[in-house]
Copies of this chain bind each other. A is one copy, B any other.
Amino acid sequence: MTEKMNIGLLGFGTVGTGVLQIVRDHQDKLVHQVGCPIEISKILVNDLDKDRGISIEPGMLTLEADDILEDPAIDVVIEVMGGTGDARAYIRKALENGKHVVTANKDVMAEHGSELLTLANETGTDLYYEASVAGGIPILRTLVEGLASDRITKMMGIVNGTTNYILTKMTKEGRLYEEVLQEAKALGYAEADPTADVEGIDAARKISILGTLGFSMNLDLDDVEVTGMTKVTSEDIQYADQLGYTMKLIGIANRCEDKVEVSVEPTLMPNEHPLSSVDDEFNAVYVYGEAVGETMYYGAGAGKFPTATSIVSDLVAVLRNKRLGVNGQSLVIPQFDKKLKTDEEIFSKYFMRIHAKDLPGTFANLTAIFGECDISLEKILQVPLNEGRLAEIIVVTHGVSRKNYKEVLQKLNETDAVVEVKSNYRVEGVMKR
């Protein structure tokens, strides 16, 4: 039996305590897998006295990051602080000092991943970050290893548990956004400030990480077209249901030839699509590969133990590499230069809910506008509103370019007969088999 491996932990919140607990509880399995005992020997905290409900040996906690980053006895650093300021600096320092790093930090990886992975490569260290996307689902190694031989053309992910919880409750219980959001906060599924979740920023970070790996192309957060889910109404969800769709906040990454598009937006998923039945706080990532076809990976997207499992599995990988003497070899430099599709090259179906004056000729008028923009319609639903003074018209288009779609939205809004385009969403199809 080799000497034990010493691990430093940066941050000791929910996930950090989960990591400590798994390393302790599953020590037997870990020893069996990596060939030596693993010990979390030092933990960076910002309060030495806080009770975290877990036993701590004296001297384990420190307020000084350098007690970990500069300690030659520490082999691997696990970063679970979150944020991008200190976390990025500490990860850099750890890598520069020859320590391997495992992080759960999607913010850092979405914004500085390329820089940090290059640094790890230069210093011969490992930087693993499975837990940064879809906590308990080992999706990153699936993209890098399991589907290594295939050409991935599409990824769609429900990668934010908070918004999926809210949308599920709105859909299944017919409840209002604000009400469910409050409940989600009370249950700990939503943070006090839920902006990053409900505005789609969190999902955008994750889809940019997925896109980078799946398409072998450096994609940044800025490349993601983001629409949050705060404007989704119960009416939208009900109409979607009538038409056979379920509303989900979907991170989408599409590749066609050498160009890609990446977005996060509320999307109508056909009820036959496997993503449509991913409910509550669960996450799932759907991957389409040219050869493998449709695959989907489902599990808890966050939470203490699911996230900690991914982190400790990464730790196992790092320590196996260490045993074999092959740390710092896992970086695959992106194969392709980034090329984003233009609005002319992005095609999708769309759902629009339009309030129009209920007058003779209105519908013909609208149809003409769609025709001018070269858009044909797949589904149309019209219901009277306000005692017949208004008509609510719901359409689902056939596939159109985003350019034509933006054009028709503008024209509709400029038309006298149209009072308002109440809402509009992307619509996904089902893969033909």
Contacts and interface: CB of A to CB of B under 8 A. Distances in A.
Interface of A: 18, 22, 26, 28-30, 32-33, 130, 136-138, 141-142, 145-151, 216, 274, 277, 280, 282, 289-300, 303, 305-306, 308-313, 315-317, 324-326, 329, 332, 335, 433
Given A32-B216, A295-B298, A145 B313 contact: yes
Contacts of A18: 291
Contact of A313 (B150, B306, B308, B317): B150
A22 B149 contact: yes
A30 B149 contact: yes
Contacts of A326: 324-326
A149 B22 CA distance: 8
Contacts of A312: 148-150
Contact of A145 (B138, B151, B295, B305): B138
Nearest to A294: B299
B148 A317 contact: yes
B33 A148 contact: yes
A324 B330 CA distance: 10
Q: Nearest 7 A-B pairs (CB), nearest first?
A: A138-B146, A149-B312, A295-B299, A291-B305, A296-B298, A136-B292, A292-B309
Q: Which of A18, A289, A315 is the most central at the interface, judged by chain B CB atoms within 10 Å of its CB?
A: A289
Contacts of A310: 146, 292
A150 B293 contact: no
A279 to B, nearest CB: 9
Nearest to A282: B294
